[in-house]
Amino acid sequence: TLTAPAPFADETSCQCQAPHEKLTIAQARLGTPADRPVRVYADGIFDLFHSGHARALMQAKTLFPNSYLLVGVCSDDLTHKFKGFTVMNETERYEALRHCRYVDEVIRDAPWTLTPEFLEKHKIDFVAHDDIPYSSAGSDDVYKHIKEAGMFIPTQRTEGISTSDIITRIVRDYDVYARRNLQRGYTAKELNVSFINEKKYRFQNQVDKMKEKVKNVEEKSKEFVYKVEEKSHDLIQKWEEKSREFIGNFLELFGPDGAWKQMFQERSGRMLQAFSPRQSPNSSPTRGRSPSRSPSPPWVFNKASPPSSPKAASASLSSMSEGDEDEK
């Protein structure tokens, strides 16, 4: 388990204890004793340390079953002289290598061209690097003598990423990064930005903020409209269900065969009965009357012959009552 960064070569006594005998590639691939790991060396600038660097170091570390990876990092003076200006200084580059999981030891201020004295000092068995000829320091290939000695092991480059590609992206999108850093609190002097460009970038930042606010308002408006449409749909659906229920209840009450019609018919029949009662049937017995003469009420007296005395009047009433009983 890794619990600390890789040590620096000039601050440790981590050396191979067994006699450093010359190894062939075949012997190294078969495996070496635990106390005699194969010492593999990889060097570079390692500016803006990225996955391409880490992948190359992983290949160097896993070339043999038992290996010890030493990584040489060139100083700022040497790098600026032979290659150009770097983004990260040498201390930052050293520390980046120390924290890579494949690195066992870091050699600071590594030489540009490997000498036999340097190889012997660090007991290096093999050198790992990509196979593309590296022309620099007046040589067509700085690893030519390593290849001729049979100590060179090629690794594969990772396509699509390199320090030069990253720097190209930064230069291409310079305005974007300058505006971002101004917004984060960096001064125009720290960014080496002119007064006019600073004002232009700050104005563009304000415009972007306004655009973002408008975008947020539009998104919230769309969300609000969506919720209103969803609720409206639910309300319409509920209204349709309630309207069907209302129409059904209305038809059940006021329809052609509804309860209201039946109730009205029943009440109408009762009212007609009350105003015009039923007549007696034709078969019921009737009194025999003279068609030309209607019976006179018992209280009508004959004007031509009024009763002559109270006795005669009472006799007349008695005879009328007897006649009524006969009719009954």
Which residues, 6 or more positions from 142, have their beta carbon under 8 angstroms from its beta carbon? 112, 113, 114, 134, 135, 136
Do 91 and 209 lie in one domain? The reply is no
Within-domain flag for 272: no
Within-domain flag for 302: no
Q: How far is CA 167 from CA 88, 164, 191, 222, 312, in A?
A: 12, 5, 16, 41, 156
- Cross-strand partners of 105: 70
When comparing pLDDT for 322 and 167, which is higher?
A: 167
pLDDT at 319: 53
Do 168 and 149 lie in one domain? The reply is no
Q: Is the pLDDT of residue 79 over 60?
A: yes
Domain boundaries, position 68: 25-155
Alpha-carbon span 142 to 130, nearest angstrom: 12
Do 193 and 229 lie in one domain? The reply is yes
Alpha-carbon span 222 to 217, nearest angstrom: 8
pLDDT in tens, 144-185: 999 999 999 999 999 999 999 999 999 999 999 998 999 899
Do 185 and 106 lie in one domain? The reply is no
Within-domain flag for 129: yes
pLDDT at 246: 76
Domains: count for the chain: 2
Do 123 and 78 lie in one domain? The reply is yes
Using the 8-state DSSP alphabet, how is residue 145 labeled?
A: H
The last residue of a domain, from among 264, 284, 318: 264
Do 169 and 151 lie in one domain? The reply is no
pLDDT at 106: 97
The last residue of a domain, from among 264, 284, 311: 264
Do 146 and 239 lie in one domain? The reply is no
When comparing pLDDT for 17 and 244, which is higher?
A: 244
27 in Cβ contact with 63 (< 8 Å)? no
Do 169 and 95 lie in one domain? The reply is no
Q: Would residue 138 be called left, alpha or beta, if left means φ above 0 and alpha means ψ between -120 and 50 degrees?
A: left
The percentage of residues in the chain with a pLDDT greater than 90, rounded to a whole number, is 43
State the pLDDT confidence band at 312, using cuts at 50, 70 and 90. Answer: low
Within-domain flag for 137: yes
Do 143 and 201 lie in one domain? The reply is no
Within-domain flag for 224: yes
Do 34 and 149 lie in one domain? The reply is yes
Within-domain flag for 42: yes
The last residue of a domain, from among 155, 187, 202: 155
Do 52 and 143 lie in one domain? The reply is yes
Within-domain flag for 309: no
Residue closest to 104 by CA, chosen among 21, 16, 17, 204: 16
pLDDT in tens, 98-130: 999 999 999 999 999 999 999 999 999 999 999
Alpha-carbon span 124 to 66, nearest angstrom: 14
Within-domain flag for 14: no
The b/e string for 159-184 (b: 16+ C-beta within 10 A; e otherwise) is eeeebeeeeeeeeeeeeeebbebbee
pLDDT in tens, 187-220: 999 989 898 988 888 888 888 888 888 888 888 8
Q: Whole-model pTM?
A: 0.62
Per-residue pLDDT, averaged over 22-42, amounts to 91
Q: Is the pLDDT of residue 89 over 80?
A: yes
Per-residue pLDDT, averaged over 261-283, amounts to 68
Do 89 and 209 lie in one domain? The reply is no
